[in-house]
Structure 1
Amino acid sequence: MMILGVVVAHPPLLPAKILSNVSSSSPTKFTPFPSPLYFGTSKLKERGSLKASCSNKDNAHDPFDGFSVLSPDIPWDYKDVWSTFAAYFFILHIPLSFGGLSVIAQILDQPDLDPLTMVISTILLQTTESVGAFTLLHYTTKPQYNFSTFVSEMISSKQRSWVKASALGIGFLIGLALLTSTLADRLIGPKDVNNPILKDILLYSPTSKALGFFLYCFIAPVLEESVYRGFLLTSLASKMKWWQAVVISSFAFSIAHLSGDNSLQLFLIGCVLGSVYCWTGNVAAPFAVHSVYNATTLLVTSLS
């Protein structure tokens, strides 16, 4: 039985060769590379008057009222949230995550990238995407906001213990993976869900393995938690109930991986990460859960 089947990162790992029949005379084929900003919590109001809420509307009958500590005061214009996200998705994410390796393969004149070259190239592409995302979110903030201050407050928020929340989130996520894997084995039979490309990276050499862990446990979580929780969830939660924002941002998180077989699991993972973030107000919490979950998946993959 495979306990953990999804490395949560952009873009999805696909059980196929990265390139096929690439030559200098043929057009570039945009093919996903294997991969599984740190903004996050909204700017806090003055501590004495801050009311914990992911919505700017009070609802005395909501049993979950008070769960979230996110503020409705955000550094972006709400009406521009989806256009900003679309700019990130179509200008940065799709070209770099799903076309970058094909371009690198043509530049290097290597139809099939070896695992070490693949993971190094992916790190460079994901780093470029992260820098681009930070830059985009920086220049789309409202003039009266200091972006650096916002990022600092998002990382250092101590309204609730992010360490305890991370531990609970990790336990819940791994427990959920165990439960769903067990049910899947009983209902449809055992299935090997290891990704061959990911496994090649982990087994190719000690260097490729170390770089693989660095990619999936640091770079990818930083990028994804910043964009999907720090920016998208924070922005949506300023105008709706926190759980509605979690559902919508998790759906976007799942869709962005372009992985039909794992879309439901990715959605549930996004809901756990979003809930941890709303409860703590500190993006370090979902980052820790994300990173440990990916590390556990990598360990299981390398040992199976």
Structure 2
Amino acid sequence: MTMILANWPLLCTPPAANSINRSSWLQNVSILQSSSSVSLPITTISAHRCCINNKDENTATTSLEEFSVLKPDNGIDNGNLWSTMALYMFSLHIPLSFGGLSVVASILGQSSLDPQTEAVCLLGIQILELQAVLWGSTYFMKNKTPLFDLLRIFQPNNNSNLSGERNWVFASIVGFGFLLLIVFSTSFLADQLTSSKEVNNHILKEIVSSGFISKGACVLVYCIITPLLEEIVYRGFLLRSLVSAIGWRGAVVVSSVVFSLAHFSVEDSLQLFIIGCILGCSYCWSGKLSSPLLIHSLYNSFILIVTFLA
């Protein structure tokens, strides 16, 4: 199973470039011309204006690129990258996440699982998927095949000149606050434009309310195991590998699209894409996987609390 979403219906603006007072500059030129017999050619003024514009554009581009401290990672080429993602999707993610509970129900001879059994089985399935990813990384790296190199994923991959100024806790707080702002604003707009809609998932509500064991299993799954699993795959591996090929902005967009599609939820696809972008930006800015991991965990915790209290 994947990231919990409330049914809300459904970064980096560069610093302003150094400005130059062109009118003041031209006024000084006029005074100089009137006080001397030497006149400045129009082409000189035009060339100076062109240099100013180019300087402004270069400053803005540099500021935007400096948003990310991730260094290009040449550990895996594009062919291996997408074949690895396909291997993960079709051999682990889809069979376990979308067929695991059905297999358990068939083994137990039941048409459907009761909420407590479902919560415990869900926990076991997610642990199995995470363990498979960890085992796969160890096995393939021993055979010198770049799959999920966990040592490479969890090592800070950043520019040392900027990373000292980037606090991953601060990035997590800002990212989580921005995410909540989007959730509340879109929910408010939806209530104004459409009829009011309950935000809680009825199935999840039933599971969480079925007992202490179910609550504990849901907390472990949605607040610890799932965030760890998904951040390793979609940010630590996919986004980080894409940076060297298409830059950090393209990597954030592409990894967020894959993140959204991997949940197989058309209704929640836009929300998932936005969440993926926020998580990706926090990783790029901080250079540490702990930042999107914390945001992911806090968001799921928030949705669990809302669901339980609704």
CA distance in 2, matches of 1:155, 1:118: 38
Matched residue type, 2:155: E
Change (3 A) 1:147 1:214: same
Partner in structure 1 of residue 302 of structure 2: 296
Answer yes or no: is the 8 Å Cα contact 1:155–1:283 preserved in 2. no
Answer yes or no: is the 8 Å Cα contact 1:70–1:281 preserved in 2. yes
Answer yes or no: is the 8 Å Cα contact 1:12–1:258 preserved in 2. no
CA distance in 2, matches of 1:14, 1:163: 24
SS at match of 2:209: helix
Listed one character per residue, the Cα deviations across residues 158-203 of structure 1 (whole Å, up to 9, x for unaligned) are 6421100000011000111000101111111211132111101110
Structure with the higher fraction of residues in helix conformation: 2
Partner in structure 2 of residue 243 of structure 1: 249
Change (3 A) 1:265 1:115: same
Matched residue type, 2:220: F
Partner in structure 2 of residue 5 of structure 1: none
SS at match of 2:79: helix
SS at match of 2:200: coil
Matched residue type, 1:88: Y
CA distance in 1, matches of 2:265, 2:189: 21
Answer yes or no: is the 8 Å Cα contact 1:11–1:97 preserved in 2. no
Matched residue type, 2:2: H
Answer yes or no: is the 8 Å Cα contact 2:73–2:240 preserved in 1. no
Partner in structure 1 of residue 103 of structure 2: 103
CA distance in 1, matches of 2:84, 2:241: 11
CA distance in 2, matches of 1:287, 1:187: 34
The CA RMSD over aligned residues, in Å, is 2.7
Deviation at 1:77, TM superposition (A): 3.0
* 2:142 matches 1:150: no
Answer yes or no: is the 8 Å Cα contact 2:200–2:306 preserved in 1. no
Change (3 A) 1:154 1:183: same
Matched residue type, 1:67: F
Answer yes or no: is the 8 Å Cα contact 1:173–1:272 preserved in 2. yes
Partner in structure 1 of residue 90 of structure 2: 90
Q: State how 1:1-304 maps to structure 2 within 5 Å.
A: 10=2, 62=61, 63-140=63-140, 143=144, 147=149, 149-154=151-156, 159=164, 160-304=166-310
TM-score, normalising length: structure 2: 0.75
Which stretch of structure 1 is more off in the superposition, 69-78 or 236-245? 69-78
SS at match of 1:166: helix
Aligned length, in residue pairs: 253
Identity of aligned residues (%): 45
Answer yes or no: is the 8 Å Cα contact 2:6–2:199 preserved in 1. no
Change (3 A) 1:104 1:67: same
Matched residue type, 2:95: P
**Structure 2 residues without counterparts, runs of 5 or longer:** 8-57
Listed one character per residue, the Cα deviations across residues 136-175 of structure 1 (whole Å, up to 9, x for unaligned) are 3445559498945424414999642110000001100011
Answer yes or no: is the 8 Å Cα contact 2:5–2:303 preserved in 1. no
Which stretch of structure 1 is more off in the superposition, 149-158 or 290-299? 149-158
**Structure 1 residues without counterparts, runs of 5 or longer:** 1-8, 16-58
Partner in structure 1 of residue 27 of structure 2: none
Matched residue type, 2:181: G
Greater C-alpha Rg: 2
Change (3 A) 1:221 1:121: same
CA distance in 2, matches of 1:12, 1:162: 23
